Chains A and B, each alone.
Chain A
């Protein structure tokens, strides 16, 4: 598991010094990579470690983003406080939704998360006074140096680093081990005294918390939020990133997020039909490299 960390040792220097050398455009690309990295690692707490595949994970990314936007634009809460509050909003709804979802498994678990996502999506789509309806909510005001691309970059870097470090602690704690154990064999885990339901609920809520945090950061970077962020198609993004990078390493989703954002950036620069190439690429990777990725998850099949 640790071997995938080796090439990452060079990254800290590049990450800290990087924004001083590149244009604003690339600063925003890197901000997006960092935000998605946190998002994907949080998602992988469910998929890779917990063995749960939600079809509607974008709910919590979107809730965090909307929590920040509503607090800032509608109520006038200062950005730092809104960033801290947003993940708690996402985690509150996450805990509620998890209560119903974790009792189901497999497809049915995924479908129920999808149902809750569509409820949240249609709510934001239709609540014009509260959340701007289908055009979204705009004009998030970031005061001072944090509003500059460089300031936003370092803010995102700090928050994402802390978030990923916390998730690293979580997956390597006894809780993380128990979570993996219930994913591999729920019955045996029950027999040795692991409270499977509680672990699944906690994992779901924690994942929602960090997804909400990444959503809030993404809203800051865009200074806007859109209901599309909670659409079912948005829920595919963390799955794509996690599978691209590998779901059985901690760093996999981070690498996947970088590949995903860079690909999207390059493709949108070249063609308006970037989704076509992304679709072909996704299918090619999943079908033509089954050994490359599949060898890592052979046991999950049962």
Chain B
């Protein structure tokens, strides 16, 4: 009992709570970028993209390719994010057009296998090109350091990540709910056969959504590059986290992936604080319980 109390002793310390809250939110924003793409792709194409973590990893490597191990600069930083986003956009688009589009009508196992094949290819391709070692990318000077708020030192980059995450959430929301293209995407998600019958080119929507989802994962990888080790194993944990998020939030639910990402980000942050050894279990425990109680997720709609 005493040890359990010790595990939660930090609760009385507002500095620690605020710091972890912010760390969890920043981590959650990166996860949101990955999970929203995964969820969007599933919503429209009904394919679970197991290569989504690989796109995140490729984004981080593209950022590393631009910046290298040297000093980052305020000019290089946006260029590396652009490279991460555009690079994965092109790869995602190519994969959809050349491979995935052939098997939308096939069994689920086939769709799972091609995305898994892409995981194998990406994992070895980065080893072939950049080697097996872990690389690090530095932050530009303008995003280094801390800001002091409420007597707590917040890393500037975490605040930056939260700002970027919220901006992209707002942008995607506007795209999905306030543009004609968004109407088509949501219609394709609800009933693609009806949309096709209405004379809409559904194939283009599928390609665009897959490329957009890939680019979101790539952007997340680029944003994460300065705070993670850029290595060939980077994709696995991101994918499992993203799967947890879409399961919690509801597959295909856009707001669900935002809420789920924040929940998982905070669960990781505070879980590590309370149970450093077993924190890794917490997200999977939440996922299991949610799927048992509400298989469609907390914010998913029944099919």
Contact = CB atoms under 8 A, between A and B. Distances in A.
Interface stretch (B3-11, B116-124, B145-153, B172-180): B116-124
A71 interface: no
Interface of B is mostly: helix
Contact of A279 (B102, B119, B251): B119
B287 interface: yes
A119 B108 contact: no
Interface of A is mostly: helix
B292 A243 contact: no
A122 B203 CA distance: 40
Contacts of A287: 99, 102-103, 114
A247 interface: yes
B94 interface: no
Interface string A237-278: 001101100010000000000000000000000000101101
Nearest to A47: B109
Contacts of B124: 273, 275-276, 279
B120 A239 contact: no
Interface residues of B, number: 46
Interface string B268-303: 000000000110110011011001100110000000
Interface of B: 42, 46, 48, 50, 99, 102-103, 105-110, 112-114, 116-121, 123-125, 127-128, 236, 239-240, 243-244, 247, 251, 277-278, 280-281, 284-285, 287-288, 291-292, 295-296
Interface of A: 47, 53, 55, 100, 103-104, 106-108, 110-112, 114-116, 118-119, 122-123, 125-126, 231-233, 236, 239-240, 242-243, 247, 273, 275-276, 278-283, 286-287, 290, 294, 297, 300-301
28 contacts: A53-B112, A100-B292, A107-B108, A108-B295, A110-B48, A115-B284, A115-B288, A119-B288, A122-B281, A239-B113, A239-B116, A243-B113, A275-B120, A275-B121, A275-B123, A276-B120, A276-B128, A278-B120, A279-B121, A282-B114, A282-B120, A283-B118, A286-B117, A287-B114, A290-B102, A290-B103, A297-B107, A300-B107
